[in-house]
Chain A
Amino acid sequence: MTADRAPEAPRGGPHAQEPSEREAQCFARYLIGEPPAPEEIERYRRAVELRGAEPRSGRDRGLLERMIRHPWTIGPLDAGLALADPESPVRFRLCLMLAVLEASPAHCRRFLPAPYPKAALLGLALRMAAAAARSALGLAMVRTWGVLWK
C-alpha cells in the first residue's frame, strides 16, 4: 500500500546478507503499512543475524534484492514463495519482521482483534480475491525467475 514511499536504495545496491534500513522499511510498510521505529529496525537486523536468515541460493539473493529495489514486487513474490517455497529464507526474513512488529506496542492495533460489522466481511472477501491474484502472479514470477527475468 505504501511500500513505494520507502527510502531510496543506497548507492551500490542493497547488501543481501545484512539487512539494510531500506529492507526493514520496505518490509514493514508491506506487512502493516506503517514504518518501523529505529529500535525495531535494529531488532530486525539482530533477528536476521541470530536466526541465520541469510539467503542460501542465488535465487533467494536475487529475489530479495528485487524486493528491495522494487518494493511493489514484495507482495507478489512473498505470495508466490508461500506456494512454491514456503520455507524460503526470504519468507523467513518477512516472518521475523512481522514478529518484531507484532511484539511492539506501537503496532498492536494491527494485530489484536477488534470487533467489526458483518458487512466488513465483504471487504475481506475482496482483499482475499486480490490476494489470490497476487499469489497467481507471484507464483509465475517465482517459477520463471532466472528463465524469463532476473
Chain B
Amino acid sequence: MTGAHAAQTLLERGRRVLMLDVGVRETHYAPLVPASDFVTVREREAEQHRYFLGDRFEGIPWGPAAHTLTPPRQHLIEGTERWLPLRARAFSRMESLCYGGLGAGWGAGCAVYTPPELSAMGLDPATIAPVYEIIGRRIGLAAEHDDATPYCGAGLSTLQPPLRMDGSIAALHAEYRRRRDEVRRAGIVMGKMPMAVLTRAMGERGGTRYTDMEFWADHDLAVYRPWMTVESLKGREGFEYRDGRFVLSFAERADHVEVHTRRVDDGADEVFRARRLLLGTGTLGTARIVLRSQPGDDALPLLTNPYCIAPALHLRRLGAAMERERTSLGQLEMFLDPRADGLDVRMVSLYTYRSLLLFKLAKEVPLGFADARVLMQCLLPAIVLVTINHPDHASPAKRLRRIPDPASPTGDALEVDYTLDASEARENDASERRILAVLRTLGCHALKRQRMPSGSTVHYAGTLPFADDERRHTVGADGRLAGTRRVFVADGSPFRYLPGNGLTFTLMAWAHVVAEGLARRSDGD
C-alpha cells in the first residue's frame, strides 16, 4: 500500500525507483471465479466449491470464531509463517508477502482523520489534509457529505456517487434520520465512510456492478487494490520491480545504502545498492528490518486497534427479501465521539451478511447443524454485523522485540506482548454498550459481543514513534529513521497514536508525504 504510493510519487517527481518485493500472487483461483453476481453463481456454477471451499477445503474454518480468508484471498498470508515468524500470547496478527500487500484484502474504507487525531499521531494536519485529496483522485473514492463527514471525509472534493445501501442498512439509516437529534445527543452520528470503490468507470477500471463478490474476486477492478498502482507503474520509465526478494536488513555507507535480501525460491542472498532506502513493508515488517539493521535488546512499542464484533438482529427485516445486487463491503458507519473533541472516536461499521456462506454462521450457533441452518437461513435478511473499532494509545504493556529463532530462515522472530490496561478495557466496554444501546433504539438488537483477539483488525503502528531528538528507533517528521541519513519509513511505524477509524488512507497519504520530501532532496544530502 505505502510502497506503491511512495513509488508513484517518486516517479511523478522524476526519480528512479527500484521496488523489492516478495510479491506472492494468486493465479490458481482467480481464473475460476466467474464475473457473475453471487446469487447467479450459487444457482448455476457447478464448480463453485473450488473457490468457495478451496481445492484443499481450506475455506472451511473450524475452531473458535476468527477472521478467515476466503481461498482466493489466502495468498495474502502465504509464506508468512515461514518468513515472518511471530511469537505471542493472545495476539492475532496478519502480515502479507503478496503482490500489493495487505491491500489485496482490504475493506476499502478511506477515513480522513480529524485534526486532533492527526496531531496525536505526530502528523501535521496542514501537511496531510491536502494529500488525502491527491490520493483520493488516484484511487477513486465513492462518498457523500453527511453527518459522518467530519469524522471520516472532511475536505474531500473529488468524489464519485456513494455505494448504494441494501434494504436493511437503508432502513437503519432512515430510522437514524427520524431519530437524528436523539442519537446525536448520545454523542453518535451515522453516515457513510468514503470507500475506495468505483461507482462509475475510471480509466481501465469499471464501476461496481454490485455483484456481492468482493471477498472472492476483484470484479471489474472496481475496488482499489495497490497492485493496480504497481501494475501501472511497471510501464513507466525509471521504475523497476524485482519480486521474489525478501528484504532482510540494510547497511548505510558513505554515499549509498546496501539492502540485503534473500531470494525466496533458492535462498540465495543478494545485495542491492541505492541512494536512499524507503521502507514500506508494514509496521511489523519494518520493525524486523530495523531491528536486524540496528541490533540490540530494545523492545519497541506497538499499537493495534481493540476490536469487537456484535452480530445483531434488525427485527423489521425478518422475512424480507435480500437484493441480488448488493455489496459485501461496509455500507454505513457510526461514530461515537465520547468527549466531542474529535479524539478517541469509536468507529462502527455495519455489514449485512450473505456471500461468506451460511455454514460459517451455522457453526457458531449452539444447536445441531440442521436446526442452525434453518434458523440462520430465516434470520439472514435481518442479520447485521456490527464491528466496533477502538483507538489505541502506547503503553509499556504493548511491546514487541526481536528474538533468536534458529528454525526461521532469517534466524529470528518477533515476540509480541500486548495487554490492554484495565482503564482502557473499561472505556472500550462503556463505549460498546453506548453504541449498542443506540442501535437498539434504531431497531437493531445485538445478540452478543465477541471481543476479537488483539491484532485482529490488522491495523498496526507505533513501533518507531515520531521524535525530533534522534533517539534510537524513532523517526523524524520527514520520515527519516534516527541514526541514519538515507533510510526513510513510509508506513505506519512512526504513528504515536492509532485512531479507531482505519488507517489505510492515512498510510497512503503519509507515504506520499515522505516520498515528496525525498524527491525534493538533492543527491548530495
Q: Which A positions have Cβ atoms within 8 angstroms of B? A: 30-32, 43, 46-47, 50-51, 74-76, 78-79, 82-83, 86-87, 91-92, 94-96, 98-100, 102-105, 108, 110-118, 120-121, 124, 127-128, 130-131, 134-135, 138
Contacts and interface: CB of A to CB of B under 8 A. Distances in A.
B315 to A, nearest CB: 10
Contacts of A111: 42, 357-359, 373, 377
Given A99-B57, A135-B368, 12 more contacts: A31-B369, A31-B373, A50-B56, A78-B370, A95-B359, A96-B57, A98-B373, A99-B357, A102-B357, A103-B357, A124-B378, A134-B371
A100 B42 contact: no
B48 A103 contact: yes
Interface of B: 39, 42-46, 48-49, 52-53, 56-57, 59-60, 62-63, 318-322, 354, 357-359, 362-363, 365-375, 377-378, 380-381
Contacts of A113: 321-322, 354, 377-378, 380-381
B366 A82 contact: yes
A121 B48 contact: no
Given A105-B44, A110-B377, A134-B371, A87 B319 contact: no
A103 B52 contact: yes
Contacts of A78: 368-370
B359 to A, nearest CB: 5
Given A87-B63, A99-B357, A102-B357, A75 B368 contact: yes
Of B45, B57, B358, most buried by chain A (CB within 10 Å of CB) is: B57
A50 B71 CA distance: 15
13 contacts: A30-B370, A32-B373, A74-B368, A98-B369, A102-B52, A105-B45, A105-B46, A111-B373, A112-B43, A115-B319, A115-B321, A124-B375, A134-B371
Contacts of B362: 95, 98
A26 B46 CA distance: 23
Contacts of B366: 82-83, 86, 135
Contacts of B365: 82
B430 to A, nearest CB: 31
B114 to A, nearest CB: 38
B368 A96 contact: no
A46 B55 CA distance: 10
Do most interface residues of chain A lie in helix, strand or loop, or is the interface mixed? helix
B38 to A, nearest CB: 9
B448 to A, nearest CB: 15
A138 B366 CA distance: 12
Contacts of A102: 52, 357-359
Nearest to A39: B46
Of B354, B362, B370, B373, most buried by chain A (CB within 10 Å of CB) is: B370
A91 B380 CA distance: 22
Of A43, A96, A98, A135, most buried by chain B (CB within 10 Å of CB) is: A98
Of B46, B321, B367, most buried by chain A (CB within 10 Å of CB) is: B367
Contacts of B60: 47, 51, 95-96, 99
A76 B362 CA distance: 16
> Can you list the 3 inter-chain pairs with the closest CB atoms, starting with the nearest?
A79-B368, A131-B371, A78-B368
B42 A131 contact: no
A116 B374 CA distance: 13
Contacts of A50: 56-57
Given A78-B370, A82-B366, A99-B359, A120 B319 contact: yes
A135 B367 contact: yes
Of A31, A87, A99, most buried by chain B (CB within 10 Å of CB) is: A99
Contacts of B56: 50
Contact of A100 (B46, B53, B372): B53
A108 B359 CA distance: 12
B362 to A, nearest CB: 6
Contacts of A74: 368
Contacts of B53: 47, 99-100, 103
B373 A110 contact: yes
Contacts of B380: 113
A95 B369 contact: yes
A109 B53 CA distance: 18
A74 B369 CA distance: 10
A3 B125 CA distance: 65
Contacts of B363: 95
B42 A124 contact: no
Contacts of B57: 46-47, 50-51, 96, 99
A111 B366 CA distance: 18
A103 to B, nearest CB: 4
Contacts of A100: 49, 53
Contacts of A91: 369
A48 B371 CA distance: 22
A91 B377 CA distance: 19
Given A50-B56, A127-B374, A116 B319 contact: yes
Contacts of A130: 371
Contacts of A75: 368, 370-371
A85 to B, nearest CB: 12
A145 to B, nearest CB: 16
Of A50, A75, A111, most buried by chain B (CB within 10 Å of CB) is: A111
Nearest to A92: B62
Contacts of A76: 368
B70 to A, nearest CB: 12
A121 B319 contact: yes
B377 A98 contact: no
A110 B59 CA distance: 20
Nearest to A82: B366
A94 B62 CA distance: 11
Contacts of A31: 369-370, 373
A121 to B, nearest CB: 6
A79 B369 CA distance: 8
Given A31-B373, A51-B60, A105-B44, A98 B367 contact: no
Nearest to A119: B319
B63 to A, nearest CB: 6
Nearest to A121: B318
A127 B62 CA distance: 26
A79 B373 contact: no
